[in-house]
Structure 1
Amino acid sequence: MADRIKKCLGIFLCAMLFGTTACAKGEPQELYALSAVLMDADTGRILYEKNGSEQRPMASTTKIMTLLVTLENADLEGTVEVSDYAASMPDVQLNIRKGEKYRLRDLCYSLMLESHNDTAVAIAEHVGGSVEGFASMMNQKARDLGCTHTYFITPNGLDASDDKGIHSTTAEDLARIMRCCMKNEDFLTITREPSWTFSDLDETRSFTVNNKNAFLNMMEGALTGKTGFTNGAGYCYVGALERGEKRLIAVVLACGWPNHKTWKWADTMKLMNYGLDDFHMQTIGEDAIDLGTIQVSDGQTASVEAAADVKSRRMLLQDGDTFRMDIKKPETLTAPVEAGEIVGTVLYYMNDEIIDLFPVYAQNSSPSINFAWCFEQVVKRWITVL
């Protein structure tokens, strides 16, 4: 029972936290992107959003999920055999050929450094058995991350639709996916590599792929990222930056169409600079708290000790952000009460929105009064009188 309640509280917290947005102050003005988000990568708190929950095609930014699912489910030393379907993908291509065999690790560099569409399909077929099977894995991972407005059809991000919808995400969901990617060291290693040289396993053809993510050289602390473009999506970008204690994720979707290829960089830098200039790190909350006791009605003990495993946290705040803590626990419980039973909640609020919660639980038990207990108490008093 207690475990189920804890799980429900955790799900509730995720929903509240992912929806929490910082107060407006000096926000980026006149962004080109139709949808944009700036997220604190450490907490998942959204610091800025422009149509952040609007679902849109996301082009090759899709490939961050393609790589993440691959890293979590496959051996990078595995052998990938190219199918006719993979070889038929449109530009951008590595131009792999049907029947050729490659090391999966090498294809991951092709996927992320130069965004090859044929490579994406070859990887998907190898890891998921088929493009459809791999898309199912991508969608499950998205659900696991709390991405409720994301739908993957292709592993390369080409515009696509089926009877369930269009290949799409939101700026908020894409930031959540990148937040997970940042925790994977292999993901960071691959996406930060300047160039990679490899050959097919028969060593009949060799390739060198170069990193096309120009943002890595635009701002100090640029950590990782992925570009994208299709006719349906426009120019897109998702990227991460780490500077000092600050770890930021910026997303821009539908950020212009030709001839406006550089707009995504202008918007991304505006978002990142907003996070760097307008927010500071601050410790909030407590590492310990005295919750006292709770009276118990009809229990073998008059009260139980209440406790919560609270902790302080560091987070990005603006001047004017207000924090408060709220303790919700009853004055009286009705027996039986079990040790560990959830009896209340400690809530952390930022600007009156929940950012964290901790279950309040009973530290000791108080069984219900019954005949055996009553008889035992009578005997004890009788012995005391004698």
Structure 2
Amino acid sequence: MGKRIAGILLAVLILVFAMPARVGAVSTSATAAILVDADSGRVLYEQNADARMLIASTTKIMTALVAIREGNLSDTVKVSKKAAYTEGSSMYLKVGEELTLETLLYGLMLCSGNDAAVAIAEHVGGSEAGFAKLMNETAAELGMEHTSFANPNGLDHEDHYSTARDMAVLACAAMNNEILARIVSTRTVTIGGRTMTNHNKLLSYMDGCIGLKTGYTQAAGRTLVSCAEQEGQRLVAVTLQDGNDWADHQALYEYGFSTYPSQRLATLGQQLQEAAVQGGAVSTVPLIAADTVSWPTAKGERVETRIELEQPLTAPLTAGNRVGQAVFTWKGQEIGRVDLLCGGNVAPAVESAWNTLKLPG
């Protein structure tokens, strides 16, 4: 499955599996917040998650994602006067300075450089307006239905906004991009004599934090999008307009990992079931999972499995051929599926009998 298609499907799941937190389980100081399982899309906690909000420099997650998709990391970018003189947080670019796109991405995501954002936008999109168009096209592709981008840096603008839910969709897409995931997990880096330190304090203060992005303007307040991993399970937290965001994110992760541990529904190579074979030398054949599927499951919750064969299995059968899918449902809704492969070669019954009767030599 293509990564872009997978991202769209994940966005759909984040929209479908919205749910409130258990009463009294966790709370935040944020105006809007959400906690999502990054791989399944299940929402584990939400608070005003669909309220339209200013998002400040968390915008730069989209800026980086678009730049990586549309640009070339080794491209040389010449810094314009407009980029160098951009207000706000900065990586201190100079007019005429030449850097690679990759270096600018580190300055964007670690230093939160508004100057880097403009330089990237001008290089990749031709202009800030052209780049904003690419940002909005990507948002639409990801299913971010309540989001609008007007600039690459997140400076306040009436046409620049999002929601906690949409930002969770973006964060999941970002963490599924290997290049971007590597950049946002970096605490400090020195490139060309310029040392850049990540503004995301959770990388240092919280075990398991693996990224993403901080933000602040006076109008937006403190905004924070982060991702944490524990025992192979990844969660994404978003808080908007939250003066206690560091502590709130840690509390959200403690709640999520302890209450909704990831349950393995299928493992690559695992036999999920046996299926009857018509006209074969054997009467059944194993059905093997072609991939791994997990789902965050609270105590007492149950996931159902349904086997869907493409057609009745009739010999001859070849090991490794796709024969159907296993469909997983929770509370009557589909939460995932995995291809099923034929677990062995099966000869026709007649051929098997003939081979048994044949005399040697």
1:157-207 deviation line (CA, Å, top 9, x unaligned): 11113xxxx2111111111111121122221322222323344xxxxxx53
Which of 155, 159, 172 is residue 165 of structure 2 equivalent to?
A: 172
Please tell me whether residue 160 in structure 1 is matched to residue 193 in structure 2: no
**Compared with structure 1, are the counterparts of its residues 120 and 14 closer, same or farther at alpha carbon in structure 2 (3 Å cutoff)?**
closer
Please tell me whether residue 316 in structure 1 is matched to residue 296 in structure 2: yes
Once the two structures are TM-superposed, the CA of residue 274 in structure 1 deviates from its matched residue by: 0.6
Contact 2:212 2:226 (8 Å CA) reproduced: yes
Contact 1:57 1:169 (8 Å CA) reproduced: yes
Alignment TM-score, normalising by the size of structure 1: 0.71
Which residue of the partner structure matches residue 73 of structure 1? 70
Residue ranges of structure 1 left out of the alignment (5+ in a row): 1-7, 200-205, 294-306, 330-343, 360-386
- The one-letter amino acid of 1:275's match is G
Q: For 2:144 and 2:13, locate their aligned partners in 1 and report how far apart those are by CA, in whole Å.
A: 13
**Compared with structure 1, are the counterparts of its residues 112 and 197 closer, same or farther at alpha carbon in structure 2 (3 Å cutoff)?**
same
Q: For 1:292 and 1:143, locate their aligned partners in 2 and report how far apart those are by CA, in whole Å.
A: 45
Q: For 2:73 and 2:85, locate their aligned partners in 1 and report how far apart those are by CA, in whole Å.
A: 24
Once the two structures are TM-superposed, the CA of residue 150 in structure 1 deviates from its matched residue by: 1.4
Please tell me whether residue 216 in structure 1 is matched to residue 203 in structure 2: yes
- The one-letter amino acid of 2:253's match is M
Contact 2:10 2:41 (8 Å CA) reproduced: no
Residue ranges of structure 2 left out of the alignment (5+ in a row): 278-286, 310-323, 340-361
Give secondary structure in 2 for the equivalent of 1:180. helix
Contact 2:14 2:169 (8 Å CA) reproduced: no
Contact 2:57 2:215 (8 Å CA) reproduced: yes
- The one-letter amino acid of 1:318's match is A
Which of 259, 268, 290 is residue 249 of structure 2 equivalent to?
A: 268
Give secondary structure in 2 for the equivalent of 1:69. helix
Q: For 2:33 and 2:126, locate their aligned partners in 1 and report how far apart those are by CA, in whole Å.
A: 34
Which residue of the partner structure matches residue 82 of structure 1? 79
Q: For 2:212 and 2:24, locate their aligned partners in 1 and report how far apart those are by CA, in whole Å.
A: 22
- The one-letter amino acid of 2:75's match is G
Q: For 1:16 and 1:101, locate their aligned partners in 2 and report how far apart those are by CA, in whole Å.
A: 42
Please tell me whether residue 232 in structure 1 is matched to residue 187 in structure 2: no
Please tell me whether residue 111 in structure 1 is matched to residue 111 in structure 2: no
Which residue of the partner structure matches residue 46 of structure 2? 49
Contact 1:23 1:321 (8 Å CA) reproduced: no
Count of residue pairs the alignment pairs up: 320
Which residue of the partner structure matches residue 349 of structure 1? 329
Contact 2:292 2:338 (8 Å CA) reproduced: no
Once the two structures are TM-superposed, the CA of residue 151 in structure 1 deviates from its matched residue by: 1.1
Give secondary structure in 1 for the equivalent of 2:99. strand
**Compared with structure 1, are the counterparts of its residues 108 and 170 closer, same or farther at alpha carbon in structure 2 (3 Å cutoff)?**
same
Once the two structures are TM-superposed, the CA of residue 154 in structure 1 deviates from its matched residue by: 0.9
Q: Which runs of 4+ in 1 moved over 4 A?
A: 10-14, 285-293, 309-312, 325-329, 344-347
Please tell me whether residue 197 in structure 1 is matched to residue 211 in structure 2: no
- The one-letter amino acid of 1:248's match is L
Q: For 2:290 and 2:74, locate their aligned partners in 1 and report how far apart those are by CA, in whole Å.
A: 43
Contact 2:11 2:169 (8 Å CA) reproduced: no
**Compared with structure 1, are the counterparts of its residues 13 and 86 closer, same or farther at alpha carbon in structure 2 (3 Å cutoff)?**
closer
Please tell me whether residue 120 in structure 1 is matched to residue 101 in structure 2: no
**Compared with structure 1, are the counterparts of its residues 28 and 127 closer, same or farther at alpha carbon in structure 2 (3 Å cutoff)?**
farther
Once the two structures are TM-superposed, the CA of residue 248 in structure 1 deviates from its matched residue by: 0.8
Kindly, what percent of the aligned residue pairs are identical?
36
The structure whose Rg is larger is 1
- The one-letter amino acid of 2:48's match is N
Per mean C-alpha deviation after superposition, the further-off stretch among 209-218 and 20-29 is 20-29
Give secondary structure in 2 for the equivalent of 1:354. strand
Once the two structures are TM-superposed, the CA of residue 30 in structure 1 deviates from its matched residue by: 3.6
Which residue of the partner structure matches residue 300 of structure 1? none
Which residue of the partner structure matches residue 379 of structure 1? none
